[in-house]
Chain A
Amino acid sequence: MTTPSTLPDLSRAVYRTREVLEGRRRFIPVAMAATVLVLLFAAGSVRYTGFLEPQVALNLLVNNSFLVVLAVGVTFVILAGGIDLSTGSVLALSAMLCAWLLREGWPPLLVIPAALLAGAAIGLAQGCIIHFYGVQPFIATLGGMFFARGLCYLISTESIPITDPLFGTLAQTRVPLPGGNSLSVGAVVALVAAGAAAYVLHRSRFGRSVYAVGGSESSAMLMGLAVGRVKVGVYTISGFCAALGGVLYTLYIASGNSLHGLGMELDAIAAVVIGGTLLTGGFGYVLGSVIGVLTLGTIQTILVFEGTLSSWWTRIVAGALLFAFILLQRALAPPAAK
Chain B
Amino acid sequence: MRSAQTRRLAWPLLVLAGLLVANLAATPGFFEISVKGGRLYGSLVDILHFGTPLLLISLGMTLVIALRGIDLSVGAVVAVAGALACETIAAAGGGQGSAVTAAAVAVALGASALLGLWNGFLVSVLRIQPIVATLILMVAGRGLAQLITGGQITTVRSEPYREIAAGSLAAVPFTVIVAATTVLLMWLLVRRTALGLLIEAVGGNAEAGRLAGIRATGLSVAAYTFCGLCAGLAGVIISANTGSADGNNAGLWIELDAILAVVIGGTLLTGGRFSIAGTVLGALIVQTLSTTVYTMGVPPESALVFKAIVVFLVCLLQSPRFRAQVASPFRRGRRPVRARTGPGPAPTEEDDVTPTATSAGTPGAPEVQR
Contacts and interface: CB of A to CB of B under 8 A. Distances in A.
Contacts of B24: none
Interface string A322-336: 110011001000001
Contacts of B360: none
Contacts of A327: 126
B151 A136 contact: no
Contacts of B312: 129, 140, 143
A81 B370 CA distance: 7
Contacts of A267: 139
B316 A269 contact: no
Given A129-B315, A129-B316, A228-B341, A153 B139 contact: no
B293 to A, nearest CB: 10
A151 interface: yes
A139 B315 CA distance: 8
A146 B305 contact: yes
A229 B319 contact: no
Contact of B303 (A135, A150, A338): A150
Interface string B283-317: 00000000000000001011111111101100110
A153 B341 contact: no
A109 interface: no
Nearest to A154: B302
Interface stretch (B89-97, B141-149, B171-179, B194-202): B141-149
B247 interface: yes
Contacts of B126: 327, 330
A250 interface: no
B308 A144 contact: yes
B140 A134 contact: no
A78 B309 CA distance: 25
Contacts of A338: 366
B77 to A, nearest CB: 13
Contacts of B138: 266
Contacts of B337: none
B336 to A, nearest CB: 12
Contacts of A154: 299, 302, 305
Given A133-B315, A280-B129, A227 B136 contact: no
A83 interface: yes
Contact of A135 (B135, B141, B302, B316): B316
B147 A319 contact: no
B322 A133 contact: yes
Contact of B302 (A139, A153, A310): A153
Contacts of A81: 370
A133 B259 contact: no
Interface string B111-139: 00000000000000010110111011111
Interface string A144-157: 11110111011001
Contacts of A143: 308, 311-312, 315
A146 B144 contact: no
Given A135-B316, A139-B259, A140-B315, A312 B132 contact: no
A312 B143 contact: yes
Nearest to B256: A142
Interface string A138-176: 111011111101110110010000000000000000000
Interface in A227-267: 227-229, 258, 262-263, 266-267
B339 interface: yes
B348 interface: no
A153 B302 CA distance: 6
Given A139-B315, A314-B143, A326 B305 contact: no
Interface centre among B140, B145, B259, B299 (most CB of A within 10 A): B140
A316 interface: yes
A279 B130 CA distance: 12
B370 A281 contact: yes
Given A142-B311, A269-B139, A315-B139, 9 more contacts: A82-B370, A132-B339, A133-B319, A146-B253, A146-B304, A147-B305, A309-B151, A311-B146, A319-B137
23 contacts: A133-B322, A135-B315, A136-B269, A138-B72, A139-B263, A139-B315, A142-B256, A143-B311, A146-B311, A147-B304, A153-B299, A221-B342, A262-B248, A262-B252, A269-B135, A280-B370, A310-B147, A310-B151, A312-B147, A318-B140, A319-B140, A326-B128, A337-B367
CB-CB nearest 7 A-B residue pairs: A319-B140, A315-B143, A150-B304, A150-B305, A147-B308, A312-B146, A146-B308
